[in-house]
Structures are given as structure tokens and as C-alpha cells.
Structure 1
Amino acid sequence: MTTTEPEAPLAARPVSGITRSEVEEFLYAEAALIDDWRLEEWVELFTLDCTYEVPATDAPDTDPGQTWSLIHDRRTMLEQRIIRLKKPEAHAEFPHSQTSRIIGNIRITDRLEQTLLVEANFIVSRMKAGKFDQYVGRHYYELVPALEGFLIRRKKSVLAHDRLDPQGKISFVL
């Protein structure tokens, strides 16, 4: 993982020609990378100016610069989070959680000049140390068409929980 790599060039085709099926395949591939703990590959799906956010469950629409969030990372912090998660010293994730993601109700909500706004519901089932948890919510993406697929400029994962107990910590990537 490095932040010195050049940004992937935009695709030659306009966003108006992109199908929901293409977006679905991309989101399914992203989910598989996370479930397989291929996090170094996953972070490469993000632009260098990306934002990855999981807002507080009681204030999902507030400005993350003005309030507390569970996660609010730019690219460098996202890379550091992955490095920490993969270390044996990260007791919350060593051994790693087993996760299974279901992504559905994928919709392209807007087509801007060079980006797509996409929403998708999610269920993440997590198994660790004999405990089973489920997290549900909605992802909000800003996707940039790239030569091969897309890059994620922004990902916001809003949990549909009024609190995290009994689910506990968010020590893995949503």
C-alpha cells in the first residue's frame, strides 16, 4: 500500500453508459476482497483523495468534521487501519473475524459528470471466538469510472442500529 502511486485514469466512456450490472459486479468483488481479508487489494479500489466513513449510529447525517464518527478515514489513515488490523497485536482481530457480506438493492441514484452516486443495502455476518454478530445498514458510494471498473472516491456505511450493543466493537471493515 502506498499513497505515491498515480491516480488511475478515468474511463473514456461517459458515466451515462454504465449499467447497474457493472456496478453490482464491482460491489460484489469489493465485498469478496474484504471477506477474504485481502485488505491491501481492497484499499487499492480507493482514490488517493478518498473518504471512508462509518458515522455514529445516533447521528448518521451529521458532518464528520463537526461530530464523532466510528470511522472517518482518508486514504493514509485507511492504509494505516489495514496495517494495524493485520498485526497479531490487534487482539480484536487476531485471529481474524470470519465475515460474510450480502450486498443488495443496489441503485445508481445519480450520474454526475465523472462520477456515479450509488446506494446499496448490506448485511455483514461476523463470526469470532464462538460469537455471531450481524450488522445491517446502507452503503453510499461515490464511484469514479476507471480503465478497469471503478475507483471509490467516497464510501459511507450507515449502520441501521440504534446502538452497537450487543454487537460490540467495529474492529473490522464494513
Structure 2
Amino acid sequence: MTAPPRTVTRAEVEDLLFHEAELLDEWDLDTWLTLYTEDSHYVVPATDTPDGNPATDLVLIDDDRLRMRLRVERLNSRKAHREYPHSRLRHLVSNVRVREPEGDEIPVRANFVVWRARNGKDVTFVGSYEYRLVHRDGELRIRGKRVMLDMTSLRPANDVAIIL
């Protein structure tokens, strides 16, 4: 039987989400990856199926921890032409809502806006996050992150070359 997670405050959850946003904005991707558990999952469904299941539906990103690490290595490399030099980013997180625990997980929802500026082109990504948080070694960590884009088209962005 799984012990219920300890109670967390919205302020603790916000601190984690704001820290994640800061690390992404600073391109400190190696530290960003440490916020995630070894069994973590990062999913970005297609814009027309925000509830899409990566097992049965087309998704933009479906990364387990290994793929997340490989994505970080690629984005940190000078060979990542889509992101070298790095875009200037600003992740804004708002409307954080902590849900009732489900087993050892703490479900969290939040809204976001991410601005990306590169080569004279500015792009805005808008949407919502669904997180699954857990306690590991006395720390709050991310087991899952699902990014639902509210955009009807990726045409202005052309791609999702950054970590949202």
C-alpha cells in the first residue's frame, strides 16, 4: 500500500514551477533535468488533440527520461542548428492549482505563456500544463508534465524546438 503524499502548499508547488521556468529561460537544461524523476514523462500533444494519448494518437513530443536527456544533450550542442545560438526565452506560469493527491502523486494544473525570440522573429506559445509531482528524497520532483497548446496552428512558430 502506498503512503499518502505529505501535504504541500501552493507556494511550494509554485516555487518548483517558477524554478523550472527560470532554468529553461537561462538555458540551464542540465539542472532542469534534475527536477524530474527517473520515471518521468514529458508530453506535448498535437494542437488538434490536446487530450491525445501518445500510445494511440499523434503527439508533438513524447519523451521518457532517456529521451529527455537526449533532448537536453542535443539542445546544448552547437550542432542543434534550430537552437544555436539559443533563443531568448521567457516562461510565465500562472493560475497554479494543486489538486487532491492521487496515490503518491500530486496533480497540478497551471497556465503558461512562453515567448521565444530568435533571429529577429518573436513567437508566443500559450497553453496549460498538467504536472504530476511526487516527493523524492525530501524534495518535490516532477514525474510527469503534459503541455497542452491553446494555439490552433503552429504556423507562427513552425516547430517546438524549445522545451515548453
* TM bracket, shorter-chain basis: over 0.9
Question: Partners in 2 of 1:133 and 1:107 — Cα distance?
Answer: 26
Contact 2:52/2:59 (CA < 8 Å) preserved in 1? no
Q: Corresponding residue for 2:102?
A: 112
Q: Which amino acid aligns with 2:95?
A: N
Question: Partners in 1 of 2:37 and 2:53 — Cα distance?
Answer: 21
1:2-35 per-residue CA deviation (whole Å, 9 max, x = no partner) reads xxxxxxxxxx9x6352111110111000110111
Question: Partners in 1 of 2:136 and 2:24 — Cα distance?
Answer: 20
Question: Partners in 1 of 2:56 and 2:130 — Cα distance?
Answer: 20
Question: Partners in 1 of 2:132 and 2:49 — Cα distance?
Answer: 21
Question: Partners in 2 of 1:101 and 1:149 — Cα distance?
Answer: 23
Against the structure 1 CA distance between its residues 64 and 95, is the aligned structure 2 distance closer, same or farther, given a 3 Å change threshold? Answer: same
Q: Which amino acid aligns with 1:133?
A: V
**Number of matched residues?**
162
Structure 1: tracts of 5 or more residues without a match: 1-11
Question: Partners in 2 of 1:62 and 1:132 — Cα distance?
Answer: 28
Identity over the aligned pairs, expressed in percent?
A: 38
Against the structure 1 CA distance between its residues 16 and 48, is the aligned structure 2 distance closer, same or farther, given a 3 Å change threshold? Answer: closer
Q: Which amino acid aligns with 1:123?
A: V
Question: Partners in 2 of 1:154 and 1:44 — Cα distance?
Answer: 13
Is 2:82 the counterpart of 1:82?
no
Match of 2:115 among 104, 120, 125: 125
Q: Corresponding residue for 2:148?
A: 158
Match of 2:87 among 97, 100, 103: 97
Structure 2: tracts of 5 or more residues without a match: none
After TM superposition, the structure 1 stretch with the greater mean CA deviation from structure 2, 142-151 or 125-134, is: 142-151
Question: Partners in 2 of 1:147 and 1:28 — Cα distance?
Answer: 20
Q: Calculate the TM-score normalised by the size of structure 1.
A: 0.89
Q: Which amino acid aligns with 1:171?
A: A
Contact 1:16/1:111 (CA < 8 Å) preserved in 2? no
- The secondary structure found in structure 2 opposite 1:17 is coil
Aligned-residue RMSD, C-alpha: 1.4
Q: Corresponding residue for 2:12?
A: 22
- By how many angstroms is 1:60 displaced? 1.2
Contact 2:128/2:147 (CA < 8 Å) preserved in 1? yes
Q: Which amino acid aligns with 2:91?
A: R
Question: Partners in 2 of 1:77 and 1:148 — Cα distance?
Answer: 26
1:65-118 per-residue CA deviation (whole Å, 9 max, x = no partner) reads 112111000000110011111111111000001100110000012212322000
Question: Partners in 1 of 2:6 and 2:78 — Cα distance?
Answer: 45
The runs of at least 4 aligned residues of structure 1 exceeding 4 Å deviation read none
- By how many angstroms is 1:40 displaced? 0.6
